């Protein structure tokens, strides 16, 4: 039997209209899963549905703000009624605000924490009852290099992703007895709309300084693509990881292992 197949499984990927979430959901579909995704408005759902259809994937899209517990609970009930009980949850939805901490407002800090940390709590809490009843489930939280490292301007994001690492470990600890595995997937620097500002070509045609920095910090000497996450994401969603719990699987091309290339 192929331990990496997802046949018959229902996977919910939050913020799955594009970017990393879309790539992971597409990979899950190819592995046999039924795909469900949410986004914060119908326009994004429609765009996501068109993208899945173009990829030959019959997805189910729902409008839900992951920070709104009432919306989340209503969506899970609707999914269970229309599609089935969720087997796999990927807490992918997230934002970042790049502002020096001494200039960041408390409201901006709270918003990032709300979406990137409270959201995964709300969504995990919403799917746990169904998984507990089935005595099986997979919860995958999309962490970050900032779950381990800090850098200028991302204090709220690092606090959220650091907290998400520990929320992952706590869900693993509290619900392992129900045969529910909760792990983190920690992408390195991935080329998506979220990181586009860090890769913009400069007025003189040169690469963005941060782009050059990341190339020097990555042994693979390249940015990751969303598709680089697909195999590790399938592993964490499949039977192959049934005894992996509370682990953060970093998919970073070696950034966390590397001091960085000496400047020329
Ligand atoms: P992205 O391109 O900005 O996509 C984020 C997705 O989340 C969008 O579909 C967005 O929808 C959705 N979203 C935002 N707030 C939401 C909310 N309150 N409720 C529901 N959906 C919401 O980001 P990405 O680069 O694909 O990153 C996806 C995840 O990976 C994030 O958690 C990010 O922190 C993490 N990550 C990214 C990288 C990277 O280098 N790109 C590396 C490590 C970790 P709208 O467009 O409608 O707002
Ligand atoms: C940043 C980037 C990173 C990536 C990712 C790295 O501004 O440093 O946006 O935070 O999004 O989280 O793993």
Residues 6+ apart with CB under 8 A from 28: 6, 9, 11, 13, 35, 88, 233, 234, 237
Q: Between the CA atoms of 242, 247, 250 and 251, what dihedral angle is there, to the nearest 10 degrees?
A: 10
> Is a pLDDT exceeding 90 seen at residue 111?
yes
pLDDT confidence of residue 264: 84
From 3.40.640.10, 3.40.50.1370, 3.30.420.40, 3.40.50.720, which CATH number describes the 10-189+226-257 domain? 3.40.50.720
pLDDT confidence of residue 263: 84
Q: Between the CA atoms of 149, 91, 251 and 98, what dihedral angle is there, to the nearest 10 degrees?
A: -40
pLDDT confidence of residue 46: 98
Q: Say if CB 109 and CB 56 are below 8 A apart.
A: no
Q: Decide: 94 in ligand 2 pocket, CB within 6 A.
A: no
Q: Say if CB 9 and CB 88 are below 8 A apart.
A: yes
Pocket test for ligand 2, best of 145, 147, 196, 223 (most atoms within 8 A of CB): 145
| 233-255 pLDDT per residue, tens | 999 999 999 999 999 999 999 99
Domain residue ranges in the chain: 10-189+226-257
Distance 20 CA to ligand 2 centre (A): 13
H helix or E strand, kind and range, residue 171: helix 155-175
Distance, CA of 1 to CA of 18 (rounded, Å): 31
Q: Say if CB 38 and CB 64 are below 8 A apart.
A: yes
Q: Decide: 23 in ligand 1 pocket, CB within 6 A.
A: no
pLDDT confidence of residue 134: 98
- What is the average pLDDT score of the chain? 97
| 38-92 pLDDT per residue, tens | 999 999 999 999 999 999 999 999 999 999 999 999 999 999 999 999 999 999 9
> Is a pLDDT exceeding 90 seen at residue 32?
yes
Give the Cβ contact number of residue 114 at 10 Å. Answer: 18
Pocket test for ligand 2, best of 194, 229, 251 (most atoms within 8 A of CB): 194
pLDDT confidence of residue 161: 99
Catalytic residues: 157
């Amino acid at each position: 039997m192929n331990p990496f197949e997802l046949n018959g499984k229902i996977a919910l990927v939050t913020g799955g209209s594009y970017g990393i979430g879309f790539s992971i959901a597409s990979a899950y579909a190819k592995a046999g899963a039924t795909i469900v995704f949410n986004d914060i408005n119908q326009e994004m759902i429609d765009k996501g549905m068109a993208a899945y259809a173009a990829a030959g994937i019959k997805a189910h899209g729902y409008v839900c703000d992951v920070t709104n517990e009432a919306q989340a609970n209503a969506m899970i009930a609707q999914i269970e009624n229309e599609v089935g009980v969720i087997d796999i949850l990927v807490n992918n939805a997230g934002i970042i605000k790049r502002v020096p901490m001494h200039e960041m407002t408390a409201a901006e800090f709270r918003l990032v924490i709300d979406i990137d940390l409270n959201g995964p709590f709300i969504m995990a809490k919403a799917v746990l009852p169904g998984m507990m009843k089935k005595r099986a489930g997979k919860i995958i939280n999309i962490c970050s290099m900032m779950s381990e490292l800090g850098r200028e301007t991302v204090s709220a994001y690092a606090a959220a992703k650091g907290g998400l690492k520990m929320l992952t470990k706590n869900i693993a600890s509290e619900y392992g007895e129900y045969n529910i595995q909760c792990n983190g997937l920690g992408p390195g620097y991935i080329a998506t709309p979220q990181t586009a500002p860090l890769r913009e070509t400069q007025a003189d045609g040169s690469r963005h300084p941060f782009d050059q920095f990341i190339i020097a910090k990555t042994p693979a000497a390249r940015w990751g693509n969303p598709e680089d996450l697909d195999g590790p994401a399938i592993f964490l969603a499949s039977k192959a990881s049934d005894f992996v719990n509370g682990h953060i699987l970093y998919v970073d091309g070696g950034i966390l292992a590397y001091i960085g290339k000496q400047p020329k």
